[in-house]
Amino acid sequence: MRKFSRLAAITIPFLITLLLGVAMAQIIHPQPRFETPLEHLTADSDGVETLPLSTTAVYSIYLPIMVDPPLNPKKGFGAKAKPACDDLERLNASWYFNWRAWPDSTCGLDELEKFVPRIYNTDSMAFLSEAIDNAQASGWLIGFSEPNLPWQGNMTPKQGATLWRQIENAALPKGIKLVSPSPNQWEPGQNGYPYGHQWTWYMVSEYQALYGTKPHFDALGWNIYKSKASDIKAYLNARRGEALDRGYNVPFWLLEYGGDCGSSVDQIQSTMENTNPWLDSTPWIGRYAWFANRITTLDSDGVDNSKCSLVNSATGDLTKLGFTYRGY
């Protein structure tokens, strides 16, 4: 029923617009028209009867037909709130994740392929089998979220290496591809936390020490928030160089990104407009997910990020940012 409703919602306005356009389409040049009643007949000097001509201007109104851009396989979003699959349609996005092992409960079974499950932290390992099952449709599973931060994934690189081995043993035999954990953007040592964005490479070293080989990554995950698009590009290019140096010539998944959510909406939109075209045109960017679809509460660190929301939670309408994001 959901699928039929969405098809009707798209098809019926299109047909109405098309029929109105056809009905209103006429030649816009003035057209001669004969007035045929006999009392209007006149005779010239030779006695030849003639019919007077009058002109009527006919104007045409052409109604525009709105067409969405083709579905972008890179573009997704982090689903902080329901309904994720309705928001996929609103934003013309192709995939989502929600930091969990199971999909949004408002999505149908036919939409499971649009969902990528995640093992968020150590506690989430209890749901590894469910995550593997739910990854069958999309073929992907995402690793830990910002493990370098105590209030997020919160684990040492050695703990991460041990758990990653378990994830590999469960996922790889079933053909599931793995996206690496995604640390936040901080520099090593920033704010007193030792690993920063190098957490992934510390985990690689620990894994090699434990098992004698590198961990398996089919894609590398990263998070970054910057007000300048140039800073986002520079950050990702630097991580790309580090990945190649370590033998990981794999796509990057930008699992959280955005502007400075404490700034103005116009500034955040400028960040998006100057970042997304680069993400779409850069071949080693596999996917990207704006943070977030609906932001209704303070973040875990007490920050109000609602200006970065793509959908108005109260009305279900796209925000200014949402309209911009829909176009990519």
Together in a domain, 48 and 81? no
Q: What is the pLDDT of residue 89?
A: 97
Together in a domain, 92 and 15? no
Banded pLDDT at 296 (limits 50, 70, 90) = confident
Together in a domain, 44 and 79? no
Higher per-residue confidence, 97 vs 1: 97
10 Å Cβ neighbour count for 208? Answer: 13
Together in a domain, 22 and 156? no
Together in a domain, 24 and 106? no
Higher per-residue confidence, 230 vs 10: 230
Higher per-residue confidence, 108 vs 2: 108
Together in a domain, 181 and 312? yes
Alpha-helix residue ranges (DSSP H) falling in the chain: 2-24, 84-91, 128-135, 157-171, 199-211, 229-245, 265-281, 320-326
Paired with 178 in beta bridges are: 141
Together in a domain, 189 and 311? yes
Average pLDDT over residues 228-249: 99
- Nearest-angstrom CA–CA distance, 158 and 245: 21
Residue 80: give the domain boundaries.
72-326
Together in a domain, 9 and 141? no
Average pLDDT over residues 65-84: 89
Query: What is the tally of structural domains in the chain?
Result: 2
Together in a domain, 314 and 176? yes
Together in a domain, 170 and 289? yes
Q: What is the pLDDT of residue 124?
A: 98
CA atoms within 13 A on the CB side of 116: 24
Q: What is the pLDDT of residue 28?
A: 36
Query: Which residues make Cβ contacts (< 8 Å) with residue 12, sequence separation at least 6?
Result: none
Residue 62 maps to a domain: no
pTM, two decimal places = 0.80
Return the residue matching tokens 């469910």.
130
Together in a domain, 107 and 211? yes
Together in a domain, 52 and 82? no
Q: What is the pLDDT of residue 22?
A: 40
Tens-place pLDDT, residues 118-149: 999 999 999 999 999 999 999 999 999 999 99
Residue 20 has pLDDT above 90, yes or no: no
DSSP per-residue string spanning 84-101: HHHHHHHHTEEEEE-SSS
Q: What residue type is assigned to position 307 of the chain?
A: K
Residue 36 maps to a domain: yes
